[in-house]
Amino acid sequence: MAETKYLFVEHERPFTYEEDGLTVTRGSAWSGPGCHLGCGVLLYTDAEGTLVKVEGDPENPYNQGRLCPRCLGLPEVTNHEDRLKYPLRRARADRGKDLWERISWDEAFDTIEKVFKDIKKESGPEAVLFMQGTGRDIAPYITRLCWSYGSPNFSLFLSGVACYVPRVIGLAGTFGAFLVPDCSQVHPDRYDNPEYVIPETIFVWGNNCVVSNSDGFFGHWVVDLMQRGSKLVVIDPRVTWLASRAELHLRVRPGTDAALALGMLNVIINEDLYDHDFVDRWCYGFEELAERVQEYPVDKVAQITWIPEEKIVEAARLLAKSKPATLQWGVAVDMTKEAIPAGQAISTLFAITGNIEVPGGMIVPPEILKYVGGWGKELLPADANTKRIGQDRYPLFASEAQPDCIVEQLESGEPYKVRAAWIQTSNFLSCMAADPQRLYNAMKDLEFIAYVDLFMTPTAMALADIVLPAATYPERNGIRLGDGAQRGETINKVTSIGECKSDMEINLELGKRLNPEAWPWDTVEEMFTFLLKDDTGMTFEELQEQAPAYPPFQYRRHEKGLLRKDGQPGFNTATGRIELWSTFYRNAGLDPLPYFEEPSPGPGATPELLDEYPLVLTTGARNWSMFHSEHRQIKRMRALHPDPIIQMNPKTVETLGLSNGQMVWVENQFGRAKRKIEATEAIDERMCSTDHAWWLPEGDPESFYDVFDLNINNLVQWSPGKSGFGSNYKTALCRVYPVDGRE
Ligand SMILES: Nc1nc2c(c(=O)[nH]1)N[C@H]1C(S)=C(S)[C@@H](COP(=O)(O)OP(=O)(O)OC[C@H]3O[C@@H](n4cnc5c(=O)[nH]c(N)nc54)[C@H](O)[C@@H]3O)O[C@H]1N2
Ligand SMILES: Nc1nc2c(c(=O)[nH]1)N[C@H]1C(S)=C(S)[C@@H](COP(=O)(O)OP(=O)(O)OC[C@H]3O[C@@H](n4cnc5c(=O)[nH]c(N)nc54)[C@H](O)[C@@H]3O)O[C@H]1N2
Ligand code: SF4
Ligand SMILES: [Mo]
């Protein structure tokens, strides 16, 4: 075994063993099917190699044996009769029709290779888009495929990339690093680690983490910490399970989180509750920040956010006196147009109260985030970047094309025509895309679309010419190299279905055909070893037996010169400090200080719309059994959440003459979608909250499984913030009326 500083867990059992006539293999959950986490699983297979059971691995420190319904229900997904099992082709003239023919992998690869090579010769590689969805552990192989082919146009069809990345960029612009809450996930001995400190208060901000387990964060860590004494402050318009157990629940109006954070900063600064020593030594631009927050007195913020003044003050004081306090935030912060200043305001709260790089506070995870930034950037020819869509408009976009600009370019054909697309892990017509009908119209005349998925989806049915069947995680080998919570894990192949191939195999094979020098490996396992070597010194086979492996970690690295390349103390920013006034944003032509802008449309920005669309709408609150548009055909998961619902306050339902369980249209100036009413006190009377990503696998394939009737993004526009990041997925206005009423 190679020399490594990595820490391992002592396992009682080997990574594979027999139990009651079944073979048990230790692995790590990663999509497909979807999830952002890699919980430790035990995969049970029978003598035929069929996956029959999945249990949580009690020996894995990450989830300590616990699993969500989706992992417990995995065998039904992997073995489902509707899985895509071999490559499919459809004649270009039949796009949108359910007229597929089975082809071999060779024919599929030959076709794609020829089309992509021809386009490259005729129009340049930039004429092909490479689009991912939530991406998961497949993202690095998509970026490498894109960049090694020579196209700068890797992206995803999510307006304003309004998931995770705005927070990541936001933190990079202020702290020069990404930060995660310290729930001891960096230590293999977890809460028992002698250096670890239980947070006094955890702020759960726009995140329902016990359900969503988002972005490398296992929500039950919050429960573990509550059991060990942490208090909670929950910032959420709905009464979630966590909110109902919080010391303080701030029921914020959707899209006004920046105002709330600025109001809390106002209290902390004006009441002199900030950490003077930390601010003096490690922060830049405090005076300017102090001046800016004077624009956000608590009475004004209370009006904007719907949160009573005294609660805002109480939250600010509680944060200032909690040592340490930490923040677990979610996608609600990204899903408003001005997401960057919102994230900046929220994270600033934890900087000026001295909660950075301390045990139990906010920590910078070790740098093994290979797949987050993309793999293979050096392969892109230097001049290709000038062709990257949106690069001239949004300087904060350093390596991906800007999605809203892609849609415009698809429509206009200017400055050049996009001719083809590679789509992997995204069902964007059901899920990612704002205004899906607009994107459908923009895409439907592309010359060629190749699509990789586990199942036939509305997007594939509407647009694809070739569909390739991907493997679920128990059908493949893989690696995982941290994404905030930091560990390496392997995924072990235990079963196989039809002719499905893993995404990594697919991209390796296609990559070899398009640019063999960039893909020198004969097998995916060799490729994984190449990826692992730099960071861990291990081969794939070594990690497979040892995982999880924990990279070395230290607190207070800014004091030790471990956060900057030049080895100087401080943070990795231009000034070496946490930039409360950000040079990074200033250089990008943006406001260097955090600010709040009313979500538009919304009650503050467009009061004239309130007569027609009186309710504030937020969308996409996650549920236990579904990952975005997945799991609709999985009976046990669907039974837990059978219909697309809209949560409304019982009083609102009554005032509108509606009733619980009734089918309604939710509509605004842009479009409408069908929903079933769930009347609940968990929602304020002035608003409603609804599911996203609905389609009906049991529906008509040629009406794309009813996606255009059910997709809530009919009500959402392509509308990024000033930075190109952020969009209005969680802030809209609407009205609600019976399906059998006005049409
Ligand atoms: N209104 C509203 N819309 C939203 C949101 C919201 O909150 N509100 N949330 C948004 C967010 S945060 C995101 S990230 C996007 C997600 O948007 P998408 O990524 O488009 O959503 P998914 O439904 O997860 O689509 C993933 C597809 O990949 C397939 N898949 C799963 N695993 C694999 C795999 O291993 N390999 C391959 N090749 N395919 C696989 C699935 O079957 C599915 O069809 O949606 C966004 N849409
Ligand atoms: N089961 C399941 N898990 C998932 C996913 C899934 O589809 N299903 N999707 C994955 C993905 S890609 C992502 S990005 C994450 C997202 O995971 P989360 O960040 O937890 O996202 P949501 O559940 O959409 O929203 C979290 C909470 O924000 C609240 N909220 C709505 N609008 C606002 C607002 O304006 N401000 C504030 N402060 N709160 C608001 C909602 O009521 C909700 O309780 O989940 C991941 N995990
Ligand atoms: S968070 Fe839930 S669905 Fe995701 S890997 Fe862990 S158990 Fe599976
Ligand atoms: Mo997301």
The alpha-carbon radius of gyration of the chain (Å, integer) is 25
Q: Write down the pLDDT at residue 532.
A: 86
Residue 589 backbone zone (phi > 0: left; psi -120 to 50: alpha; other: beta): left
| pLDDT at position 34 | 84
Secondary-structure breakdown of the chain: helix, strand, coil percentages, each rounded to the nearest 5: 35, 15, 50
Q: What is the mean predicted confidence (pLDDT) over 597-621?
A: 97
Q: How far is residue 610 from each of residues 267, 598, 613, 715, 732, measured CA to CA in Å?
A: 32, 15, 5, 15, 11
Model confidence pLDDT, tens digit, residues 329-340: 999 999 999 999
Atom of ligand 1 nearest to the CA of 459: 44
**Residues sharing a CB contact under 8 Å with residue 516, sequence separation 6 or more, in sequence order:** none
Bridge partners of 146, per DSSP, are none
pLDDT of residue 413: 98
446 — pLDDT class (breaks 50, 70, 90): very high
Q: For residues 300 and 365, which has the higher predicted lDDT (pLDDT)?
A: 300
**Protein residue closest via CA to atom 12 of ligand 1:** 163
Rounded to the nearest integer, the mean pLDDT of the chain is 95
**Are 538 and 532 a contacting pair, CB within 8 Å?**
yes
- Which residues line the pocket of ligand 2, CB cutoff 6 A? 36, 134, 163, 205-209, 211-214, 235-238, 240, 252, 254-255, 257, 330-332, 618, 620-624, 626-628, 689, 730
Q: Which of 660, 649, 658, 643 is nearest to 696 (CA)?
A: 643
Q: Which ligand is nearest to the CA of 34?
A: 1
> CA 376 to CA 142: how far, in whole Å?
10
Report the C-alpha gap between 19 and 15 in whole angstroms: 13
Contact (CB, 8 A) for 464 and 90? yes
Least confident of 364-378, 626-640, 658-672: 364-378
Q: What is the pLDDT of residue 743?
A: 46
pLDDT of 425 reads 95
Q: What Å distances lie between residue 348 and 278, 354, 428, CA to CA? A: 12, 10, 33
pLDDT digits (tens, 9 = 90+) for 576-599: 999 999 999 999 999 999 999 999
List all residues 6 or more positions away from 46 whose beta carbon is below 8 Å from its beta carbon: 21, 22, 23, 52
* Nearest residue to 241 via CA among 221, 211, 203: 211
Cα–ligand 4 centroid distance for 215 (angstroms): 8
What DSSP state is assigned to residue 715? G
Rounded to 10 degrees, what is the CA torsion of 618, 622, 625, 629?
A: 70
Q: What's residue 477's pLDDT?
A: 93
The reported pLDDT for the residue numbered 230 is: 98
What pLDDT score was predicted for residue 485?
56
Compute the average pLDDT of residues 598-618: 97
Tens digit of each residue's pLDDT (9 = 90 or more) over 204-242: 999 999 999 988 899 999 999 999 999 999 999 999 999
Q: Look up residue 434 and give its two tokens.
A: 């704002």
* Overall average pLDDT of the 267-296 stretch: 98
Per-residue pLDDT tens over the stretch 426-445:
999 999 999 999 999 999 99
In whole angstroms, what is the distance from residue 275 CA to residue 364 CA?
20
Q: Could you tell me if 237 and 254 are in contact, meaning their C-beta atoms sit under 8 angstroms apart?
A: yes
- CB-based pocket (< 6 A), ligand 3: 29, 35, 37, 39, 63, 67-68, 70-71, 213
Identify which of 31, 39, 211 to mutate to test ligand 3's pocket (most ligand atoms within 8 A of the CB): 39
Is the separation of the CB atoms in 389 and 153 below 8 Å? yes
688 in helix, strand or coil?
A: strand
Is the pLDDT confidence value at 465 over 50?
A: yes
Q: Which ligand is nearest to the CA of 431?
A: 1
- C-alpha 507/C-alpha 136 separation (Å) is 15
DSSP labels for 585-642? Answer: HHHTTS-SS------SSSTTT-GGGTTT--EEEEE----TT--TTTTTT-HHHHHHS-
Report which ligand 2 atom has the smallest distance to the Cα of 730.
32
For a mutational test of ligand 2's pocket, the pick from 208, 245, 637, 678, i.e. the residue with the most ligand atoms closer than 8 A to its C-beta, is 208
Counting ligands in written order, the one closest to the CA of 631 is 1
Q: How far apart are the first and last CA of the chain?
A: 68
Which tens digit of pLDDT belongs to each residue from 31-81?
889 888 889 999 999 999 999 999 999 999 999 999 999 999 999 999 999
Taking the C-alpha atoms of residue 279 and residue 281, their distance in angstroms, rounded to an integer, is 6
Of the ranges 402-416, 464-478, 525-539, 606-620, which one carries the lowest mean pLDDT score? 525-539
pLDDT tens figures, 80-107: 999 999 999 999 999 999 999 999 999 9
Place of tokens 């959420």: 236
CA 641 to ligand 4 center in whole angstroms: 20
Which tokens belong to 121? 């010769």
Q: What is the pLDDT of residues 519-578, one digit of tens each?
A: 999 999 999 999 888 778 889 998 888 888 888 899 999 999 999 999 999 999 999 999
pLDDT at 742: 52
Nearest CA to 52 among 31, 24, 27, 33?
24
Q: What are phi and psi of 295, to 5 degrees?
A: -75, -5
Residue bearing tokens 């006004």? 256
3 falls in which pLDDT band (50, 70, 90)?
A: very low
DSSP 79: T
3-state SS assignment for residue 663: strand
Sheet strands side by side (includes 22-28): 16-19, 22-28, 40-45, 51-56
> So what's the pLDDT on residue 460?
98
83: DSSP letter: B
pTM score above 0.95: yes
pLDDT at 741 over 90: no
Nearest atom in ligand 1 to the alpha carbon of residue 135 is 19
For the CA of 256, the closest atom of ligand 2 is 35
280: tokens are 């003096």
Range scoring the smallest mean pLDDT among 137-146, 434-443, 615-624: 137-146
